[in-house]
Amino acid sequence: MNIPVLTDILSANNLIAEQNRKLLDDHRIYMVNLLSSPGAGKTTFIEETIKRLDLAISVIEGDVASDVDAVRIKKLGIPVVQINTGGSCHLNAPMIQKALENLPLHKTDLIFIENVGNLICPAGYKLGENISLVMNSTTEGDDKILKYPGIFRVATSLIINKIDLLPYLDYSLEKINENFLKLNPQARIFPLSSKTGEGFDEWIKWIRTGVDNFCNKL
Amino acid sequence: MNIPVLTDILSANNLIAEQNRKLLDDHRIYMVNLLSSPGAGKTTFIEETIKRLDLAISVIEGDVASDVDAVRIKKLGIPVVQINTGGSCHLNAPMIQKALENLPLHKTDLIFIENVGNLICPAGYKLGENISLVMNSTTEGDDKILKYPGIFRVATSLIINKIDLLPYLDYSLEKINENFLKLNPQARIFPLSSKTGEGFDEWIKWIRTGVDNFCNKL
């Protein structure tokens, strides 16, 4: 066991995350780190957000393997970089640094990072993002906050996806809201469906305000 | 970066996994390592299997935090040990060694390990199991084999859970079968619903045969 090495890796990671942040500040670019289990619906959520948001958006896709998600985003005419971690269970700041070299920063307002599907490991790695969103899909059950508190604690907002399936599931929105706000009282919750579009108006308004406030402060 | 340290950890892990296997062989106990994303339905699947299988079963529950799943299993009158990894993204062999000390091995035929919900990290850690099952739920989408090949490659069987929700989803059983068998041609696939019980007969017959064959060989 070698905890000092892990500390060094995290320090090095955070240093590069700060460099990423500085580069993005210089370009007035807001960056969102999107986290969830595999299959919660991150890519569809990003697709639907892109369609509704009048901003120049780029996307960084993180996966252990494959370019399935990047191909989907590319079809929308959006600049996208696919990172294959090759086995690693999370993205890190150096991977993002490399990805940023391959995006048109001079004409980008907002970058979505779709992290590797994992509710544990990505929580410890800052990437240079302004905010992190954690997504829970209704089909995963309403006990995930209790089981994976680390990642929900660091979330700026909770996206509850797939609310169109609620009639077919034993899932309590009240329970998840209560457990989440106990852990993270400052955060916002957006229940929505990336399939039907229900709930998107509020989310789009919130993220748009976030980007505007960020630009005004710089 | 310190790859030699990781190698040492894995070697030490495998050594203890072999000790676990030896202990279980001595007691004629079959052990199953169940792997999936968070919320794929592992606990409900174990509950429904327990109800249908006329064997003395014990369960080891792995979670980052909480005892939600162990409480559910306990209600069935089954011996259960909850392991809280406290942040670690997978179970390891020493954790299982410790858990086995707390189970009634002299009156157990079969142990289910419910691993931490994660499609990446648990794949590298042997625990002393006879077989590993990977579960994909229909609500996660049919592209998970391509994105997380490592864990599907080591699976003895693939359990496709939540087939009762197929009418409400864009999920292709054909596509997942094809992608899985390309990666892992020897493995069996069991599409089923832990909610309705559909598909359980075949799975129960298969696991029962596996336990019987194991005992006959010892």
For A125-154, write each residue's pLDDT tens digit. 999 999 999 999 999 999 999 999 999 999
The pLDDT value recorded for residue B1 is: 44
Selected residue of A119, A162, A175, A182 to mutate for chain B interface (largest B Cβ count, 10 A): A119
For helices B200-217 and B42-52, the axis angle rounded to 10 degrees is 70
B79 touches B103 (CB < 8 A):
yes
- Of the pLDDT bands very low, low, confident and very high (cuts 50, 70, 90), residue A7 is low
pLDDT in tens, B155-178: 999 999 999 999 999 999 999 999
Question: In this predicted structure, what is the pLDDT of residue B177?
Answer: 96
Question: Does the pLDDT of residue B7 top 80, yes or no?
Answer: no
Average pLDDT over residues A6-27: 90
| Beta-carbon-side half-sphere exposure of residue A177 (alpha carbons within 13 Å) | 7
pLDDT digits 0-9 by tens, B106-151: 999 999 999 999 999 999 999 999 999 999 999 999 999 999 999 9
Q: What angle do CA A135, A136, A138 make, to 5 degrees?
A: 140
Which residues in chain B touch residue A39, judged by CB atoms under 8 angstroms apart?
A: 37, 137, 139-141, 144
Do A70 and A82 contact (CB within 8 A), yes or no?
A: yes
**Where does chain B show beta strands of DSSP type E?**
30-36, 57-63, 80-84, 110-114, 131-137, 157-161, 188-191
pLDDT computed for residue A6 by the predictor: 61
Residue span of the structural domain in which B129 resides: 3-217
Whether A195 shows a pLDDT value over 70: the answer reads yes
Token look-up 């009634």 returns B104
> CA A81, CA A96: separation in Å to the nearest integer?
10
How close, in Å, is residue A216 to chain B by CA atoms? 38
| Phi, then psi, of A179 in degrees rounded to 5 | -65, -40
Task: Indicate whether B93 pLDDT > 80.
Answer: yes
Q: CA-CA-CA-CA torsion for B40, B133, A86, A154, nearest 10 degrees?
A: 30
Facing B146 at nearest CB: one of A37, A68, A149: A68
CA B176 to chain CA centroid, Å, is 19
What is the percent of chain A where pLDDT is above 70?
97
- The reply to whether A218 falls in a domain is no
Q: Where are the alpha helices (DSSP H) in B101-183?
A: 144-147, 149-153, 173-183
The pLDDT value recorded for residue A8 is: 72
Cross-chain CB nearest to A118 (options B2, B120, B141): B120
Question: How far is B106 from chain A, CA to nearest CA, in Å?
Answer: 31
Per the structure, the count of domains in chain B is 1
- Using CA coordinates, name the residue in chain B closest to A83: B147
Could you read off the pLDDT of A56-102 as tens digits, one per residue? Answer: 999 999 999 999 999 999 999 999 999 999 989 999 999 999 999 99
Residue A216 lies in a domain: no
- Chain A CB contacts of B2 below 8 Å: 2, 5
Instruction: Give the length of chain A.
Output: 218
Per-residue pLDDT reduced to its tens digit, B30-85: 999 999 999 999 999 999 999 999 999 999 999 999 999 999 999 999 999 999 99
Q: Residue B145 maps to which CATH number? A: 3.40.50.300
Out of B5, B40, B137, name the one closest to residue A5 (CB).
Answer: B5
* Separation in Å, CA of B124 to nearest CA in chain A: 10
pLDDT band at residue A1, thresholds of 50, 70 and 90? very low
